[in-house]
Every structure is written in structure tokens, then in C-alpha cells.
Structure 1
Amino acid sequence: MDIRQTTAADFIKVKAVHQEAFGPEEGPVIVSLLDELLPDPTAAPILSLLAEDGPRVLGHVLFTNVVIQGAEPVAARILAPLAVLPSAQKQGVGRQLVEAGLKQLRDAGGELVFVLGDPAYYTRFGFQPAGARGLKAPHPIPVEHAEAWMVQELCSGVLGRVMGEVEASQVLNRREYWIG
């Protein structure tokens, strides 16, 4: 399996992976998010990675820019969305995409990465509850799902020094993407 940065020519493949991975109900919502998010200037800089096995696309992950209001400027991104074809799930594709993205962001001077997702999955990569670290989500997260709002420190010493409300790109900051 190869992991590489996407190109404009990959966009149809990327959307197809998300459509299939998220299914008939959520798939169109995620594809619509991608249609708007990828060209959103407030999402830049982005990191978009594709996992392939020969000509077959297996998965995709997107990291976009976020700003922490009321804090000193930091290089921060949010991981959203991540998709792996159902036929390729539980084979390490998602893990390799996330790890490759975190490494590239770290190597590029990234300091923090956020995610709203399954704690059982994302804690494997070193993510921890963000709210407990003084980093609020763009929209309130119900108490029963508070642990799903997570952060990972890519540069030692940033957590604890930086606190505030995270503001995602204009597209991803919409309330409908934060209410499950």
C-alpha cells in the first residue's frame, strides 16, 4: 500500500471512497462537505492523503487549518474526515493514513491536531480529551460525548500553554457538522 498526497485529479476517487465508507445516509453529507471544504481558503493549508494498492484507492484522510481563539498563534489542524473502503477496513489502512498525516504535519512544524471521533480509536495515536486541556470545540459537545473531542500535541510544551476555543474553517465550522 502506498500513501501519497492527493492531486486535483484524485477528487472523484476521494469522493467515491467517502461515499462508500459512510454509506447512503452519511455519504452524501460527507461528499458535500468535501465539495465545499477542499476549495475553502480558510481551510488552508490542507493535507490530503490517499491510500492506494496499485490502482485501487483504499482510503483518504484530510487535515485542515484551525485557529485557537484567545490564544497565541499555533500551527493547528483538524483531522476530518477519514474514510476507508469497507472492504479494506480492519487492515491498518486508517492507521497508516493517520500516522502518515501526523508525521507530515509534525515534520512541517505542526503543533496541535484535533479530531472529533471515537476515543477508542483515536487514543491509539496519542489523542487525548481536548476539553480537559482548556481547548473548546467550535460548538458545544454533549457531556456524554465530551471525550470524543480530542487533541494531540505534535510539539512538546504546547498543551497547557495554549487554551481557548477552536475555530475550524468557514465550511467545517458550521453547526450541522458538530451535532451528531
Structure 2
Amino acid sequence: MSTRIRPATTSDREHVRDIHLRAFPDSENRRVAKLAVELLDEQGDPPTISQVAELDGRVVGHIAFSPVKSEDAPDWLGYILAPLAVLPECRNAGIGSALVEHGIELLLEQPADRVFVYGDPAYYGRFGFGAEAAAHFVPPFALEHPFGWQARGLREHGATGRTLRLACVKALCDPALW
């Protein structure tokens, strides 16, 4: 069995929707699946980075990184990792980790200073995410679980030393996602 990670395309729409519907609990799966599909269509500069994992030619995982900016620092750029999902029957095979690591490699090629995530600190901590790196960055909406707001620096010059309020792409502008 070989895993391959590649850019997601609009032709992956149904696979991406299915992955998120199956990976998340019923209380949030439709909202997250809608976000994942909308991010496939997100047109912006800089672009949203959306990747899928294939296992023996079958799409089994998806991850997206969309840009975040701040009006307080027009030259500053970050990304947010959201969402990430792997089909339940393919979990614990390193696919989610491979998607995160590959995505961070792609971000290092961008002029991005920091990558954020709103998720489980135990999971994302192993990729270098932490609450301290996110402390001076205010998410676009109030967080239901503030302990989940984390970041990882990509470049040293990205530390502004002041608090910045972040703005996200349209697909993430749903307070229920936060």
C-alpha cells in the first residue's frame, strides 16, 4: 500500500466531502464538509493550499491551509490549517501526519510567517504547534475552546511583538466553525 499526497482539485469535491462527513461527529460533520469543499473553490492571492492523500489510488485524506492576514500589519501573512480529516478505516496509518508535514513543507515555500490551527494540542503539539506561538494573534471569531488555538512559527522575522487581529478567507467566516 502506497500513500501519495497531491494537490486537491475541484474534481475531488465528492471525495473530500465524503471524507469529512465520515471523519467528524454528526454534530459538526456537515459544517466541516461544507468548509472543505468551499475551500477547494476559494480563489485568492495568496492561494488556499488544499491537498489530498491517496492510498493505492483512492482518496482517503484531505487537508487545507488558507491564508490569514491582519489589517494591523499589511505585510504580515499567515495560514490556518483547517480542516484535516482521514477516513476512519485509514486512521493510525500516518496519513494525517503525512498531510500535516507535507503541508508545512509547502508553506515554507510561501512568504508566510506563521501557521495556526484550532485543534487538539496533544495531536498538533508533535508538529511544533503551541499556544505560546499563538498568544499575540487574535482569531477572527470567539473560540468555543480557547485552549485549542495554537501556532507554529515558519520564519523568525514573523514575530511582530504586538497583538494582531486576524482575518480569514470567506469560507472560514462562520462563527460556528470557531
Q: TM-score, with normalisation over the residues of structure 2?
A: 0.88
Could you say which residue in structure 2 is the equivalent of 1:115?
117
Could you say which residue in structure 2 is the equivalent of 1:60?
62
Could you say which residue in structure 2 is the equivalent of 1:159?
159
Query: Whole-Å Cα distance in 2 between the matches of residues 65 and 44 of structure 1?
Result: 7
Query: Whole-Å Cα distance in 2 between the matches of residues 80 and 87 of structure 1?
Result: 21
Query: Whole-Å Cα distance in 1 between the matches of residues 156 and 174 of structure 2?
Result: 30
**What is the CA-CA distance between 1:23 and the residue it aligns to?**
4.2
**What is the CA-CA distance between 1:43 and the residue it aligns to?**
8.2
Q: Tell me if 1:90 matches 2:92.
A: yes
Q: How many percent of aligned residue pairs carry the same amino acid?
A: 34
Match of 1:137 among 139, 159, 168: 139
Q: Flag the 1:134–1:78 CA change in 2: closer, same or farther, 3 A.
A: same
Residue 30 of structure 2 aligns with an amino acid whose one-letter code is P
Residue 176 of structure 1 aligns with an amino acid whose one-letter code is A
Query: Whole-Å Cα distance in 2 between the matches of residues 62 and 72 of structure 1?
Result: 23
Instruction: List gaps (5 residues or longer) in structure 1.
Output: none
**What is the CA-CA distance between 1:160 and the residue it aligns to?**
4.4
Query: Whole-Å Cα distance in 2 between the matches of residues 21 and 112 of structure 1?
Result: 27
Query: Does the aligned pair in 2 maintain the 1:131–1:146 contact within 8 Å?
Result: no
Query: Does the aligned pair in 2 maintain the 1:68–1:166 contact within 8 Å?
Result: yes
Count how many residue pairs are aligned between Structure 1 and Structure 2: 176
Query: Does the aligned pair in 1 maintain the 2:49–2:65 contact within 8 Å?
Result: yes
**What is the CA-CA distance between 1:113 and the residue it aligns to?**
0.7
Instruction: List gaps (5 residues or longer) in structure 2.
Output: none
Residue 7 of structure 2 aligns with an amino acid whose one-letter code is Q
**What is the CA-CA distance between 1:78 and the residue it aligns to?**
0.7
Show structure 1 runs of 4+ deviating over 6 A. none
Could you say which residue in structure 1 is the equivalent of 2:173?
173
**What is the CA-CA distance between 1:39 and the residue it aligns to?**
2.5
Could you say which residue in structure 2 is the equivalent of 1:73?
75
**What is the CA-CA distance between 1:157 and the residue it aligns to?**
3.0
Query: Does the aligned pair in 1 maintain the 2:134–2:152 contact within 8 Å?
Result: no
Query: Whole-Å Cα distance in 1 between the matches of residues 164 and 93 of structure 2?
Result: 37
Query: Whole-Å Cα distance in 1 between the matches of residues 8 and 38 of structure 2?
Result: 16
Query: Whole-Å Cα distance in 1 between the matches of residues 64 and 134 of structure 2?
Result: 25
Question: Which deviates the most, 119-128 or 162-171?
Answer: 162-171
Q: Flag the 1:94–1:47 CA change in 2: closer, same or farther, 3 A.
A: same
Residue 20 of structure 1 aligns with an amino acid whose one-letter code is R
